[in-house]
């Protein structure tokens, strides 16, 4: 969705926000609530017999600004799709940022051909779009939208494929639904956090160092590593504070052996 506000720079981001007291610390519950509040879309659990389990998309028949999510699901006796959300990625804002976030990304599998347009307030949130990964990346390359690093780069590559990134290689690594599901069936329940570190900050951009790079300094929460002789970094060119071009350097090796 296209979101306005100083921290988003009219960027295209995924619906989301912060956990509230009503979520009781449950990030999946928070994800569903934020989707309802920002896009008037609700995800309901599909039939248990469906393999893989699918979600049912609903355009909420209420004004999400007036009717709280908890009331919406209670009065309609709807089963939220928490168990159907697939943990896909977790990114932590770099330490130099004034506001830091620990962000989880989830996938949900809709029934074939099911699309709900959603509704936006036209103020903070400008518009909603359903885009394939390749479409979003091409539009960004054309300078028509802004994508931040977590949206641009998501690929299960570092630390024996248990760390997740976002759009860039999703289209190549998981060309079919079955290949994506096989990966998640063999991976950890929750993705390891990505905590990028920043070098060479200037008016025209900066370098984002990622886990595995020889210059990466592991954090306690991150549980990542640096590998001598390896490069894993994103060079970001910006204009007026907005990211315009990304250049990825990725050459990872384990102990001088096979590439990860």
21-53 pLDDT tens trace: 999 999 999 999 999 988 888 888 876 666 667
pLDDT at 92 > cutoff 80 = yes
| Boundary (domain end) residue, out of 130, 154, 175 | 130
Is residue 189 located within the same domain as residue 173? yes
CA gap 90, 78 in Å, rounded: 28
What does the pLDDT read at residue 166? 42
- Same domain (yes/no): 82, 62: yes
What would the two tokens of residue 184 be? 């998640």
Percent of the chain whose predicted confidence (pLDDT) is above 70: 72
Q: Which two tokens stand for residue 28?
A: 């999946």
Same domain, 143 and 252: yes
| pLDDT score, position 71 | 92
Residue with tokens 């049912």: 56
Same domain for 101 and 16: yes
Same domain, 25 and 135: no
d(C-alpha 157, C-alpha 230), whole Å: 13
Extract the runs of DSSP E, i.e. beta strands, from the chain.
2-3, 11-12, 41-45, 55-59, 86-92, 102-107, 125-127, 197-202, 205-209, 231-239, 242-251
Q: Are residues 63 and 145 in the same domain?
A: no
1 and 126, same structural domain?
Answer: yes
State residue 29's pLDDT score: 93
pTM beyond 0.85: the answer is: no
Residue 11 bridge partners (DSSP) = 3
Which uninterrupted H or E stretch holds 149?
A: helix 149-152
Same-domain status, 8 and 31? yes
Query: Residue 181 has what pLDDT?
Result: 63
What pLDDT is stored for residue 50 in this prediction? 64
Upstream peptide bond of 52 is cis (omega within 30 degrees of 0): yes
The verdict on 140 and 260 lying in the same domain is yes
Mean pLDDT of 117-145: 79
Same domain, 159 and 232: yes
137 shares a domain with 126:
no
* CB-CB neighbours of 6 under 10 Å: 6
Question: 105 and 138: one domain?
Answer: no
Query: How is the chain split among helix, strand and coil, in percent rounded to 5?
Result: 20, 25, 55
What would the mean pLDDT of 131-139 be, rounded to a whole number? 80
Mean pLDDT of 161-180: 50
Question: Quick one: how far is CA 167 from the chain centroid?
Answer: 8
pLDDT of residue 28: 92
Of 112, 130, 148, which residue sits at a domain end? Answer: 130
Tell me what the mean pLDDT of segment 222-245 comes to: 80
Q: Please say which residue of 130, 154, 185 terminates a domain.
A: 130
Residues paired with 218 in a beta bridge = none
Query: Is pLDDT larger for residue 22 or for residue 123?
Result: 22
Within 8 A by CB and 6+ apart from 144, the residues are none
- Domain span at residue 137? 131-260
* Residues 72-84 pLDDT 10s: 988 988 888 888 8
């Amino acid at each position: 969705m296209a979101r306005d506000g100083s921290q988003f720079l009219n960027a295209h981001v995924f619906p989301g926000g912060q956990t509230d007291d009503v979520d009781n610390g449950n990030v999946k519950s928070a994800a569903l609530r934020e989707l309802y509040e920002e896009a008037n879309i609700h995800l309901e659990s599909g039939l248990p017999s469906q393999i893989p389990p699918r979600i049912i998309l609903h355009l909420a028949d209420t004004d999400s600004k007036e009717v709280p999510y908890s009331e919406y699901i209670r009065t309609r006796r709807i089963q939220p799709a928490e168990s159907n959300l697939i943990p896909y990625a977790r990114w932590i804002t770099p330490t130099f940022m004034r506001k830091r976030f620990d962000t989880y990304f989830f996938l949900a599998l809709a029934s074939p051909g099911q699309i709900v347009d959603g509704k936006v307030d036209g103020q903070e949130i400008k518009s909603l779009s359903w885009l394939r990964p390749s479409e979003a990346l091409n539009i960004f390359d054309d300078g028509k939208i802004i994508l931040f690093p977590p949206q641009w780069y998501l690929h299960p590559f570092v630390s024996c494929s248990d760390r997740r990134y976002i759009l860039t290689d999703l289209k190549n690594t998981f060309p079919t639904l079955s290949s994506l599901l096989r990966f998640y069936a063999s991976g950890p329940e929750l993705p390891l956090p990505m905590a990028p570190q920043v070098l060479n900050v200037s008016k025209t951009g900066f370098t984002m160092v990622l886990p595995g790079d020889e210059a990466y300094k592991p954090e306690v929460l991150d549980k990542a590593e640096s590998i001598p002789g390896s490069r894993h970094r994103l060079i970001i060119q910006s204009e007026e504070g907005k990211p315009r071009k990304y250049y990825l350097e990725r050459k990872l090796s384990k102990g001088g052996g096979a590439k990860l």
